[in-house]
């Protein structure tokens, strides 16, 4: 539909041009400061139209050239931003995996600490005499004093316990 409209419009302009050309064949005087020429009016109209099209084409080409440069610059900027974004994502993913590993290690240490503390508490209760188990008969001297327990940096667990805590 659009193509047909362009063809019809082109034919109408061609018919109009032929009518104007046939009506304007009379010679006109053209004064170019130094020389005077006698040319048919239609030729003067055609040369003026052609000169206007050339000027318009040059303006359009320079505008398109600037736009292409701008598009190229913007595409390069987009590419660099995408690359930087990808690098940032990779860094954040690495940080997340490092933090997950630290959390897992801390959970393991926490479990090991709890097991060690429970074992110490049970051992302490076993060492107390029967009379200490009755709260009514206890005196402040009889209350167990908790000792600070220092854990080694690396706690060695038996294989069966270690297997229970691995994911």
CA pair distance 74, 66, nearest whole angstrom: 12
Packing angle of the helix pair 2-23, 41-127 (nearest 10 deg): 160
Name which of 35-39, 94-98, 143-147 the model is least confident about: 143-147
DSSP string for residues in the chain: -HHHHHHHHHHHHHHHHHHHHHH--SEEEEEETTEEEEEEHHHHHHHHHHHHHHHHHHHHHHHHHHHHHHHHHHHHHHHHHHHHHHHHHHHHHHHHHHHHHHHHHHHHHHHHHHHHHHHHHHHHHHHS-GGGG-GGG--TTTSPPPPP----SS----HHHHHHH--
Q: What percent of the chain has pLDDT over 90?
A: 37
pLDDT at 111: 80
**Is 0.85 surpassed by the pTM of this model?**
no
| pLDDT-derived band at 74, boundaries 50, 70, 90 | very high
pLDDT at 167: 47
pLDDT at 135: 58
**What integer best gives the mean pLDDT of the chain?**
80
CA pair distance 90, 84, nearest whole angstrom: 10
pLDDT at 92: 96
- How much is the average pLDDT of 45-61? 92
For 90-100, the pLDDT digits (tens) are: 999 999 999 99
For 10-35, the pLDDT digits (tens) are: 899 889 888 888 888 889 998 888 88
| Residues facing residue 31 across a β-bridge | 36
């Amino acid at each position: 539909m659009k193509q047909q409209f362009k063809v019809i419009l082109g034919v109408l302009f061609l018919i109009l041009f032929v009518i104007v050309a046939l009506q304007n064949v009379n010679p006109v005087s053209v004064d170019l400061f130094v020389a005077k020429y006698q040319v048919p009016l239609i030729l003067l109209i055609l040369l003026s139209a052609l000169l206007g099209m050339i000027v318009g084409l040059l303006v359009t080409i320079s505008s398109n050239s600037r736009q292409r440069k701008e598009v190229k610059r913007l595409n390069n900027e987009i590419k660099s931003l995408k690359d930087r974004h990808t690098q940032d994502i990779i860094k954040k993913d690495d940080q997340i995996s490092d933090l997950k590993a630290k959390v897992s290690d801390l959970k393991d240490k926490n479990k090991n600490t709890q097991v060690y503390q429970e074992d110490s508490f049970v051992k302490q209760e076993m060492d107390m005499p029967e009379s200490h188990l009755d709260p009514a008969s206890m005196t402040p001297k009889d209350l167990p004093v908790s000792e600070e327990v220092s854990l080694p940096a690396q706690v060695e667990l038996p294989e069966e316990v270690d297997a229970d805590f691995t994911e």
